[in-house]
Amino acid sequence: MPRYAYVNGRFAPHKQAAVHIEDRGYQFADGVYEVIPVHRGRVVDEALHLDRLEYSLGELSIAMPVSRASMRLIAHELMRRNALTNGFLYMQVTRGVAPRSHPFPKPAPRPALVMTTRQLPVPSEEAIERGISVVSTPDQRWARCDIKSISLLPNVLAKELAASQGCAEAFQIDDEGYVTEAAASNAWIVTHEGTVVTRQLDTDILSGITRLSLQRVIEDLGYRLEIRPFTLDEAYTAREAFITASTQYVMPVTRIDERIIGNGRAGILTTALRQAYTQHVVEQGEGADRFAAS
């Protein structure tokens, strides 16, 4: 079946979808984005993702291109047209089209809105049990990582480094030796005492939606949680490690820089957290309308 995209007010076949060459997202990376997971045809944590989208836009003085209600309708219609079951919805908003000049154009152009979807396979239990390998790399990103900017070149370089070494992710390390986050996910460890640790929210990391939802799951289950920085050396010697991301949920990390974490398989606590978070996703779906075609 044909695949569709949404671009500035119209649905178009994916291969024909295009934006103006003077869109400021194209020339300046002047925009933000969201990646929203879809599970069994239902959007996961939709309100939280739209909250973060509005925050990022507000920090850049870009207006919402349409109302939240309209954005939801567009998203769900695109999901329906693409028969999206398991995968993600990508939203991108830029400052719009204007002659190339660094300052914000005045008057402000109409913000540009693009949406696409992608179907993703559900990972096998063996793949989850095996976990992923990561490399470490200096954090070279800008000072406002709390904004979900489309300017991702440092992340691209970190991911390319990981791929070149046969790894799936890269832990980014600040000047003091602490892990900030991974290239496209939040980073966590489990200490030998069974305490779950993840870095505090600040301008050095993105406020991950899966991170937020998992934090609530951890608190509900009564596990010990510390919100603090942890060093790369702590990660090397941790009992367990994992990442969280909208497209991966809770994914075990079993190797960092060729060092085996734990016994080299998904840890007991990580496995329990993945199962609990997946149940959170399922329960959300049970309480929502289904918009994708079956």
* Cross-strand bridge partners of residue 6: 11, 115
Instruction: Establish whether the linkage from the previous residue to 229 is cis, with ω within 30° of 0.
Output: no
Q: Which CATH class is domain 125-281?
A: alpha beta
pLDDT of residue 186 exceeding 80: yes
pLDDT of residue 292 exceeding 50: no
What's the rounded mean pLDDT across residues 236-240?
99
CB environment 48-71: b (16+ within 10 A), e (fewer): bbbebbeebbeebebebbeeeeeb
Domains 4-119 and 125-281 share a fold: no
Q: Which of 15, 106, 148, 159 is catalytic?
A: 148
pLDDT of residue 25 exceeding 60: yes
State the pLDDT at residue 47: 96
Does domain 4-119 fall under CATH 3.30.470.10? My reply is yes
What's the rounded mean pLDDT across residues 111-120?
98
Residues 231, 232, 238, 240, Cα dihedral to 10°: 110
State the pLDDT at residue 48: 97
The pTM (predicted TM-score) of the whole model is: 0.94
Active site residue 148: yes
Q: Read off the pLDDT band of 294 (50, 70, 90).
A: very low
State the pLDDT at residue 286: 56
Q: Angle between the 268-286 and 209-221 helix axes, to the nearest 10 degrees?
A: 110
Instruction: State the Cα–Cα distance between residues 191 and 150, nearest whole angstrom.
Output: 34
For the chain, the domains span 4-119, 125-281
pLDDT digits (tens, 9 = 90+) for 195-224: 999 999 999 999 999 999 999 999 999 999
